[in-house]
């Protein structure tokens, strides 16, 4: 589980195919500022909102020098249902380590399971902030509500307004610089995870 509070922006160092044909997955090596001595093989890290398992790790120049890196392997299914299939060398990724009991819950409960891919359709300045309008897949629209929570590329955000499958959010200056969202331009695709509470409420009401 995660909170949607980004603690590092990583960078894809290499992307290699695994498998072959329709079952071809991808192996990504991701550079990070995390202290990897505290990250076990098998640990979970949310990468642009998708929960990934660390299968290898290391440091260039040893523990004391340079940034560390870790490796995740992504299945063909995940590549097709998220933005991970578009990752290339140099891509910047929002990173968050798994939540531990006793951690401060600064965002909301995030599972790291991407529900769909959305698109940024408009951005405009609003004082020091930026107002973004996204289009969500129609199947997710029923889970969106003003003042509700949504996770965009791993970032916990509050929904401002909803109009059918479109919804708006506000990015304060800190979020613009501490995550990759500040660099998004209209047309950009993003990973979306709906609020877990909204999903359960919809199921209880028979809307799922």
pLDDT by residue (tens digit) across 77-109?
A: 999 999 999 999 999 999 999 987 666 666 688
Q: In terms of pTM, does the model score above 0.75?
A: yes
- pLDDT tens by residue, 132-148: 999 999 999 989 999 99
Query: Is residue 34 very low, low, confident or very high in pLDDT (cuts 50, 70, 90)?
Result: very high
CATH code of the domain in which 196 resides: 2.40.30.20
Q: Please state the domain count of the chain.
A: 2
Q: Which residues are 97's β-sheet partners? A: 45
For 13-17, 52-56, 109-113, which range has the lowest pLDDT when averaged over its residues? 109-113
Note whether 133 and 181 are same-domain residues: yes
Selection from 151, 175, 148 nearest residue 159 by Cα? 148
Measured CA to CA, the distance from residue 49 to residue 90 in angstroms comes to: 18
Q: What is the pLDDT of the chain when averaged over all its residues? A: 91
Domain with 170, as residue range(s), is 116-204
Burial class (CB in 10 A: 0-12, 13-18, 19+), 179: buried
Note whether 84 and 125 are same-domain residues: no
Note whether 54 and 125 are same-domain residues: no
* Residues near 141 by beta carbon (within 8 Å), at least 6 away in sequence: 162, 164, 165
């Amino acid at each position: 589980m995660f909170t949607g509070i980004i603690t590092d922006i990583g960078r894809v160092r290499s992307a290699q195919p695994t498998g072959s044909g329709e079952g071809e997955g991808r192996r990504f090596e991701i550079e990070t500022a995390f202290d990897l001595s505290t990250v076990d093989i098998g640990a979970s890290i949310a990468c642009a909102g998708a929960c990934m398992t660390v299968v290898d790790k290391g440091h260039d120049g040893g523990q004391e020098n340079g940034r560390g890196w870790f490796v995740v392997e992504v299945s063909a299914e995940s590549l097709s249902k998220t933005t991970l299939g578009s990752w290339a060398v140099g891509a910047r990724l929002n990173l968050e380590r798994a939540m531990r009991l006793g951690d401060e819950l600064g965002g909301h409960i995030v599972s790291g399971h991407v529900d769909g891919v959305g698109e940024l359709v408009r951005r405009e300045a609003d004082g020091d902030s930026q107002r973004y309008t996204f289009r969500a897949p129609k199947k997710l629209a029923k889970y969106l509500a003003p003042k509700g929570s949504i996770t965009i590329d791993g970032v916990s955000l509050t929904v401002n307004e909803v109009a059918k499958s479109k919804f708006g959010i506000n990015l304060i200056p800190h979020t613009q610089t501490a995550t990759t969202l500040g660099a998004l331009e209209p047309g950009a695709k993003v990973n979306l995870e709906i609020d877990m509470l909204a999903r359960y409420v919809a199921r209880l009401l028979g809307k799922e």
